[in-house]
Chains A and B, each alone.
Chain A
């Protein structure tokens, strides 16, 4: 017992000051690289990737007239293939009116309520996911580029703190899995580094498309922590930190994950 107690004591003492090491830029890997051959094949072929069904829906929604002003996304933004190129790679981005960063889904709903004078779409609704997937698809292959913005710094810091903070009944932090133990197995599944390169993505476990917020809730549930409600600022901070952490990595939207 004595050596063990000593180790526990030493770890506890270290724990007060030690900060989980961030993965170096060169060592980063997309979740794609942890997948099996068959799942990769699903993502690689657009006629096999089930997420493309949502992208097709999104394409139709893009030009559908909405709200009391009967305006479509296309009426303002034109052809998404040109106007939305690289847009998803920059979100979450700072919104001056709200004084905080917002993610792509929130931006779509701001457009809906303010420009189209319509009702916001519910989080995880098929329509919101379809639009986000369609917009995200236009950035596929482009590097994630979170602006070096002084105004978003405090939110990025808050996201980083949330990432490294232990929580839940299992007393785990995101960093303990995704910074310290990536590449290992948790039950039978590989632990990826947690880079949000392909959202919204088709998860085989969900048998549907889902947002990054849904994935984060999933992780919190797994840690037996209380998850925040959809749209909570904590998620956006975390999304901002995760996208910054994945800066320079190519967008894979819409990706497939096991």
Chain B
């Protein structure tokens, strides 16, 4: 299982702009590198990232081979209501990882 680290505030005021930071472990093998025998190592990257706030998509990113290993994505949203922020990464070779954090909005 891929490890992920999420940094989002547990509490926020209604209407406040909050920063969400996500980090996930992944090799992000580009597909352009040769191995010791000269054969190219097949591509193995995360291709998509989606963040949902109470089920509604608020942020989406497409990832490409030039993105470094262990991709770190950070973005902002407006705290509207209490609930769950869910994160989903999908990629090559059936890669899939999910994570979620709760947020209380006052």
CA of A207 to CA of B33, assembled, Å:
14
Q: How large is the interface on B (under 10, 10 to 19, 20 to 34, 35 or more residues)?
A: 10 to 19
Question: Considering only CB atoms, which chain B residue lies closest to A206 in the complex?
Answer: B69
Do A47 and B69 form a contact, CB below 8 Å, given A53-B23, A53-B25? no
Per-residue CB contact flags for chain A residues 48-70 toward chain B (1 = under 8 Å, else 0) read: 10101100110000000000000
A219: interface (CB < 8 Å): no
Could you count the A-B residue pairs with CB atoms below 8 Å apart for me: how many are there? 33
> Which chain B residues border A52 with CB–CB below 8 Å?
5, 23
Interface residues of A, CB < 8 Å — how many?
A: 12
B68: interface (CB < 8 Å): yes
> Which chain B residues border A57 with CB–CB below 8 Å?
3
> Which chain B residues border A45 with CB–CB below 8 Å?
7
Say whether B7 contacts A48, CB under 8 Å.
yes
Of residues 68 through 100 on chain A, the ones whose CB sits less than 8 Å from some CB of chain B are none
Say whether A53 contacts B3, CB under 8 Å.
yes
A190: interface (CB < 8 Å): no
> Which chain A residues border B21 with CB–CB below 8 Å?
47-48
Say whether B70 contacts A47, CB under 8 Å.
no
> Which chain B residues border A208 with CB–CB below 8 Å?
69
B103: interface (CB < 8 Å): no
CA of A45 to CA of B69, assembled, Å:
18
A/B interface sample: 27 pairs, CB < 8 A: A45-B7, A46-B5, A47-B6, A47-B7, A47-B21, A47-B23, A48-B7, A48-B21, A48-B23, A48-B72, A50-B23, A50-B25, A50-B69, A50-B72, A53-B3, A53-B5, A53-B23, A53-B24, A53-B25, A53-B70, A56-B5, A57-B3, A204-B68, A207-B28, A207-B68, A207-B69, A207-B70
